[in-house]
Structure 1
């Protein structure tokens, strides 16, 4: 379908280009002013009845919301599988998430932080959690002030399915290749003024990966080669996740509601790891092997109590929240080291890694209407984090010998953080424009205690995080958007621990107590067109960072590399993101999105001269063929180009997923999916420095196939539409 930009669009873009040097951001593929997803955070939806089908993509002044019902991977796959198909989002072979090429993303579940998704092990959590309970994914690249400012790339908010009637139930059962399966059920019931809802999930997943590492260490002065190594191996993880959720809403009156929610998530992981290393030194050739079977356990639980008082009969009012979340994780490995050339008897050692994180929060928020259709949000949030690390490792010992502690890798470390935050946000229409402006004021105090060595540290800082959003309704089908935000990345507690952790005989990891928060300023401008089934959008974005984090690799011997994090200095990134959706013909529709970006890194403190820069790209698309009223075939494609890192780059990839759904009955569907059809999902990292040249490749082993049944039962709907609250 052809379309032309409106005269107002041409003149406005001309003004923007002339005054700011850049234009365009995307409010995007569709827009609904009354959707609960786009009401002001912290509010409750008005009592309305919604009978229309929810759009696949909705755009608000501060976010984009993607419904996942049409993504067939959502029926049988994990959260990581679904996020791979969301525009702007990428997930690598290990489950690591990035947004517009930036891995510093804050993940929320129903508007609240979840510790399991915001720590060093969140990749495994994303791959272990089934996606069939997800309603939609919200992406906020410049979140407003009532969201926490953590994460340079922005926020991904996972909205779960909730009750939509006086009583409702659903069941899903899936089986997949290599023993994978998923059983889950949800239900809700309304008893007078009391509403209850809950769910149970049991999911088993298997992840098999092959890896290789080729490394050359050279002398910084002479340039002579000191050593070469070639490492190949396999790793597998058999994960079993058990999840339970329970919630209740009690209406004390027409204007007062008390809500309580709790969740329990237990994940166990049985892993195998085997590698063979061939090393070339000045003294000759050697070969060794390493087996590291292990077991990992992670248990997360959370509890939330919420009180809301409606002051204006439109769900605006006062909200008080108290919540607590805890995640503890234990990893145990039994390691066998073998020497093949020259031959020697094997040695044995154990490694135990323990982490316990507790987060407590209280918050108060007011949402009210002002004259001129304006809205005010004001609030306070107090957050306290306490994290304990207890790491232990034994010295290599012969069979039958006593296992003695290795003091180089055995230590206890404590971390504490307290954040006081005051925020305010103001929204109002001004003619054809809508303004949303706010600021968040935070005082953060951090303490560290390396108990084993007696080292204490800490620091505090006060920061203001302003944000601004503007949208202009150029015509009934075209919208212009502008936004600005300031954000922060706080160091992970583990990255502040100065003690060493041995990842393998050739790689050590060490925290940096001097690591400081990274600060980011983000600018966006864009345009969108939406009419019927056709939508188009384009976004220009720019991010400037100081004290940027980077993982560096430094040789500490001819055969061992030390990995740590440093404040890089400055970095500049930006790009153009485009998206389009529509129908090719009756029964055949498509979605396409792409991102062309530029990275510039100041790497002078890493031994390079000046800056390093590169261009890269990401693209993905889906084709949906509705063969009959009951049959749908789906094809998903994703590709990415080379991406710059401070000491090298990451390789690109091309991946295809397939899905098929047959509607057996109105409330019963059969779904089959195949993920990574050509086994092409991989992660390649190249390091090229004056002293270290390294090529690391990790590849997923084979495609993943699943087939499953989904059944739903819904009772009479309530008057009120589904309510989603956004507590930050």
Structure 2
């Protein structure tokens, strides 16, 4: 980078770097310097929304005081890293021979830890070229993603997933797990962990802590692109390509991806009914690889120096073809030994489009944003069943030992989200306010048919046919103020008000219900800079968790011969209060974070298993009791040696839960668990990098039972063939240890479920980069990708 100057004031450079971090959140900005005096840091700024535009020189030499309060921040590659890792300010350059003011370029890395969240950069992960979003999330401290896509954070599954700060239909309900397993991790720039969300965040999709997937954005002038192609074991493969072009006031970027993948599994369940003295077993196996593909594009155009227009579009599609068998056996019951074969087929389509308008105000840091996002998810599936009975009793009503049926499912989700946000700094702080108008429509349709064994015609089974609609409207207002009290203290306080209106139509049973309520959601954050390397943080947030569409559906859904399920339209929102105290420092050159947290929830939405006859158990939901969780989370990351870097974390969790037993009596359960995670990168040579990831998930409470601990290990190797071409080897679940094991233990029911997946998978692939700066391979090009400021987030 070439830098020219006539004269540089250290004070101006210092203010400039602070200004750049606070207001524009850039990597590259500039200051005008004259021969006679040092000018304020307002000459020009290359924001994430527009290219650098020279500004008129300041009329006075008075330095501009940074407007936005500066919570002490840190930087990271694969985890939170302190400011000492930032690139130094560069000012060495030959003097200009002209008498005109010249510019000096100051470079610093974008901060990661902010007053209300932790930001983890996932670009430098060796496995990112062939991994999925679920793989990327599994590398984040205290985050766990099951093979079936279930996400938990600090032992809680009540987690919101946002994309660029916005809710998306593809991350709602049962669609979320499949979407995370189909989304390429290469498309993600960073993941924001927001344990205590502030006032700008709504309560969609869970209302608990938030995982915000920040998608990659390239802001370099000119063209840039990358192509990945990978082949895996058992016929798996995937590929992706992305690129961008920016010139003057115009920018465009986009990408395409394709994946042929899946997880085969085997499982078994043992159930004992204590009230009836019955014992039953279920053995299952499922197999099938599926295709998923996607395309996305975004365009930005700068209207002058203050106004920016943007538009985005994405489309993704995947199929769901699978074969499975289940063997059911109820000991001591007639006609209870049979094998159920299932042939599944279907597809899912996800789409989103949106527009955005940003306008900068007359003072530094003042900005107004309008953002419209529309997203939808259309899912269809068909299931063909065949039950083959053994040892049929001669006196039983079963005449045919081979019984056939089929089931068709269709569900559609559409979310319209319109937000407006305004930010205005003053001498000491930053005011933020905004609004949100959103509508979420969900439609579910299930048709079940029995196949007549003689005529082979399909006969509708009304007891297993279900049609259900939900319409949820939400209006929200929020405001917050971030204040810098002095050089050491910074605070942020906010309040959000939400009005929610829900209409439910159970068309099959002709049940209609309406509910509406107002919630007031406060939040508070504080930071204290004890030294250059040490920061203390405190946060508090009140949140609500609204039940989703499936949880509100009262219809009894047939799962299999032993299991039915239903929702509850009378569910109330669960109320959560969360507190956190964090200590961030450096130890022996490593970055260390320690966070203590406490979370309490009332009106918890809990699952209950209720026997409805001798063999079938109904799983439903109720508000009951509450739960309390507390724990200590730690992270330790950095370079141990010039060649070895580590990113380790752990979470010691204690959880106490109140549930209702079969008789409706409240009982209390508790559990302690320790989860550990480590990622170790070693530079074998100038061309070779080795990465080993270890993950151990502790025991967690789940519904009326608990989930047993689980551990996995992954291995990756990257070889740089040329500055533009890398060869990547990735092995997941090296020891075939990945499983989901749950145990239910109530006064009437004991159940043990275990499901194992096909475990060890091997991928080999190539990654080719073109345009821009390709030196050093992936992760070393600091300016390769940029993201815009979070859109709206309200």
In the superposition, the TM-score normalised over structure 1's length comes to 0.90
List per-residue Cα deviations over 1:505-545 (Å, max 9, x = no partner). Answer: 11111111111111111000110113785111111111111
Q: 1:288, CA displacement in angstroms? A: 0.4
Deviations along 1:351-375, one digit per CA (max 9) or x if unpaired, are 1111111111222111111122x11
Corresponding position: 1:231 with 2:282: yes
CA contact (8 A) 1:46 1:315 kept: no
2:439 aligns to what SS in structure 1?
strand
User: How far has the Cα of 1:236 moved from its partner?
Assistant: 2.1
Q: Could you report, residue by residue, the CA deviation over 1:643-676 in whole angstroms, capped at 9, with x for unpaired residues?
A: 2234221111111111101111112111111101
Aligned equivalent of 2:77, options 51, 55, 63 = 55
1:411 corresponding residue in structure 2: 466
Which residues in structure 2 correspond to 1:26-65 (within 5 Å)? 36=25, 55-57=77-79, 58-65=112-119
Deviation at 1:163, TM superposition (A): 1.7
User: Does structure 2 retain, via aligned residues, the 8 Å contact 1:640–1:654?
Assistant: yes
Higher strand share: 1
The aligned counterpart of 1:10 is none
Q: Which residue of 2 aligns with 1:4?
A: none
Q: Deviations over 1:604-663 (max 9, x none)?
A: 455455411111121111111111111111111111222223422111111111110111
Match of residue 636 from structure 2: 580
Q: Are the counterparts in 2 of residues 412 and 452 from structure 1 also a CA contact under 8 Å? A: yes
The residue number in structure 2 matching 1:522 is: 578
Aligned to 1:395, the other structure's residue is in SS state strand
Where does residue 204 of structure 1 map in the other structure? 260
| 3-state SS of 2:615 partner | coil
Residue 756 of structure 2: aligned partner = 699
The answer to which of 398-407 and 102-111 deviates more is 398-407
2:356 counterpart (306, 324, 328): 306
Give the aligned CA root-mean-square deviation in angstroms: 2.4
- Partner-residue secondary structure (3-state), 2:186: coil
Aligned runs of 1:75-86 on 2, under 5 Å? Answer: 75-86=129-140
Give the C-alpha shift of residue 201 in structure 1: 0.8
> In 2, are the aligned partners of 1:601 and 1:646 still within 8 Å (CA)?
no
1:526 is paired with a residue whose SS is strand
The partner residue of 2:380 within 330, 339, 361 is: 330
The unaligned stretches of length 5 or more in structure 2 are 1-19, 28-46, 54-73, 80-111, 394-399, 774-781
Secondary structure of the corresponding residue to residue 404 of structure 1: strand
Contact 1:543 1:572 in 2 (8 A): yes
Which runs of 5 or more residues in structure 1 are unaligned? 1-30
Q: 1:524 to 1:635 in 2, by over 3 A?
A: same
Q: Distance in 2 between matches of 1:297 and 1:187?
A: 28
Alignment of 1:439-518 (within 5 A): 439-518=495-574
Distance change (3 Å), C-alpha of 1:458 and 1:37: farther
Query: Which of 725, 740, 743 is matched with 1:683 structurally?
Result: 740
What corresponds to 2:701 in structure 1? 644
**TM-score, with structure 2 as normaliser:** 0.83
Residue from 273, 277, 287 that aligns with 2:337: 287
Match of 1:662 in 2: 719
Q: Give distance in 2, aligned partners of 1:53 and 1:462.
A: 39
Deviations 1:475-525 (A, max 9, x none): 000010000001111111111111122111111111111111111110001
Judged with a 3 Å threshold, the aligned counterparts in structure 2 of structure 1 residues 54 and 602 are, in CA distance, closer, same or farther, namely closer
- Superposition map of 1:163-242 within 5 A: 163-165=218-220, 166-219=222-275, 224-225=276-277, 227-242=278-293
The 2-side partners of 1:513 and 1:277 are apart by 32
Corresponding residue pairs, total: 685
Residue in 2 that maps onto 1:592: 648
8 Å contact 1:653–1:682 — kept in the other structure?
A: yes
State the match for 1:24 in structure 2: none
User: 2:790 aligns to what?
Assistant: 725
Q: Distance between the aligned counterparts of 1:725 and 1:167, measured in 2?
A: 24
Residue 121 to residue 722, structure 1, CA distance change in 2 (3 Å): closer
Which shows bigger deviation, 292-301 or 395-404?
Answer: 395-404
Once the two structures are superposed, residues 373-412 of structure 1 have per-residue CA deviations (whole angstroms, 9 ceiling, x without a partner) of x111111100011111111101254264321111011121
Q: For 1:53 and 1:495, how far apart are their aligned partners in 2?
A: 40
Shift of 1:278: 1.8
- CA displacement, residues 263-318 of structure 1 (integer Å, 9 cap, x when unaligned): 1111111111111122213x458410011111121111111111111104645311
Name 1:549's counterpart in structure 2. 605
Q: Are positions 1:340 and 2:390 aligned together?
A: yes
Q: Which residue of 1 aligns with 2:4?
A: none
Residues 53 and 641 of structure 1, relative CA distance in 2, 3 Å threshold? closer
